[in-house]
Amino acid sequence: MKRLKYNDIDIEQINEVTWLIPPRDGMLVPGKIYADRKMMESIIKEDESIKQVMNVAMLPGIQKYSIAMPDIHWGYGFPIGGVAATDMTEGVISPGGVGYDINCGVRLVRTNIKYPQIKESMEAITKSLFQNVPTGVGASGAIRKLKPAEMEAVLSKGARWCVENGYATDEDLECTEEKGCMEMANPDYVSYRAKERGLNQVGTLGSGNHFLELEMVTDIYDAQAAEVLGLFPGQIVMMIHCGSRGLGHQVCEDHLRVLNQATRKYGIKLPDRQLACAPIQSEEGQQYLGAMAAAANFAWANRQIIMHQAKKSFLETFQISEADLGFHLIYDVCHNIAKVESHDIDGEMKDVCVHRKGATRAFPPNHPLTPAPYQEIGQPVLIPGDMGRYSFISLGQQQSMLESFGSSCHGAGRLKSRHKAKKEGRGKDLMAEMRKMGVVVQARGMRTVAEEMPYAYKDVHQVVDVMHKAGISSKVAKLVPVGVIKG
């Protein structure tokens, strides 16, 4: 077998795109990383995310593997791109395996419009989207400021609240992970400060790597699946990437303080304090899960209202009917979450808590949790790239249930830190560079654009191909950006 060295550790290549780290130094299970050889060499060289994979393997109750996707890079506690499942009785819950932006996710909407029809109107539509969808740090005011009772309802009901208030349809819920609501949500465990931060932020995009993109379908790899998804070459689709905003960040911060104390209280020994955790069945563990689920519900409502606001922009800009626009949700998938799911553990179906930090569900055809419209083809996996190249739509495959707890990659993964990206962008006309790529950009400030230029990211095509070769998620279509709004 081929091997690569990480410090004094032999990492074994078990097939073209899968690597194993043998248990050592307190690891309870092996580490498993999906990457081709070139990627793996880069991962070893670039940062300490492999060390984080090994650290996660030391969490009490972890099952089978500590897993990392090909978009792996350094994160808080867990690597971004990390997946871990813990036993519901003896295992722990760790906010580091979810992240600060709880239920950061991706939503993809299709239209009946072809790019040539609106090519000359790209400036107009991106400006309208920029006006209707507040962006940037502290962005607010997409809809009215919620009353405290409405906030409680959003945290409890998620996207269902949007249906009740005219921002969504039942069809939207059917095409949203968990139908847009985690039932275990408990707003009582969300602090007053967190709720206060969210009152005026529902329907807003935020900053950093969050975006709203208009994209054109350029390549179809699976014609049958594309037909089910409603995709065709030249089509304009819209991708939204954002999460739970300041509310989710505050929930994480609040509960990290509690779980840091719980780690000591329960005598849990950890290699990294950023893996602060508590037994799932403990009071602290249950409180975090209830608050996390409430923040996840807020995020689904947030993306749903962004979609509603964006639809207004299309109708107003192009002066067409809703029937002609054909504005329909394909899917909404989250990638910073922990969920109780049933998986095969050593030949026995068992409930486990699956942490996905920068990784998404990739459930196969005929799985009970694969949405009804996609039972025959598998759950859509939405994988954004950078704002200058391309994004992909894939479908979950049966192999994901055998190898990765039904999980796949979530994006390109950063290649350069924000600081390095900004440094490289100094003195450049970044907007002109994007126009040369055929992309119209509207942004709150140049700092975010500099941090998010294409050269700051891995080539998402390589990331998606690793998952395709592994049989975890199969490619359906490639999308290229033509209009982008950012904070």
Query: Catalytic residue positions?
Result: 410
Give dist(CA 268, CA 263) in Å, integer.
Answer: 5
Give dist(CA 47, CA 291) in Å, integer.
Answer: 32
Residues 463, 383: contact at Cβ < 8 Å? yes
Those residues whose C-beta lies under 8 Å from the C-beta of residue 36, and which sit 6 or more positions away, are 16, 17, 70, 462, 465, 466, 469
Give dist(CA 288, CA 246) in Å, integer.
Answer: 17
Those residues whose C-beta lies under 8 Å from the C-beta of residue 356, and which sit 6 or more positions away, are 83, 97, 98, 334, 335, 336, 337, 338, 339, 407
- In 3D space, the residue among 295, 303, 123, 118 whose CA is nearest the CA of residue 210 turns out to be 303
Place of tokens 């994160």: 75
Reduced to 3 states (helix: H, G, I; strand: E, B; else coil), residue 255 is: helix
Distance, C-alpha 118 to centroid of its chain: 29
| Residue 279, Ramachandran bin (φ over 0: left; ψ between -120 and 50: alpha; else beta) | beta
Planar angle of CA 291, 358, 32, nearest 5 degrees: 115
- Please provide residue 230's backbone torsions phi and psi, each rounded to the nearest 5 degrees: 80, 30
Give dist(CA 193, CA 248) in Å, integer.
Answer: 11
Reduced to 3 states (helix: H, G, I; strand: E, B; else coil), residue 190 is: coil
**Residue 298 CB neighbour total at 10 angstroms:** 30
Element (H, E) at 373: none
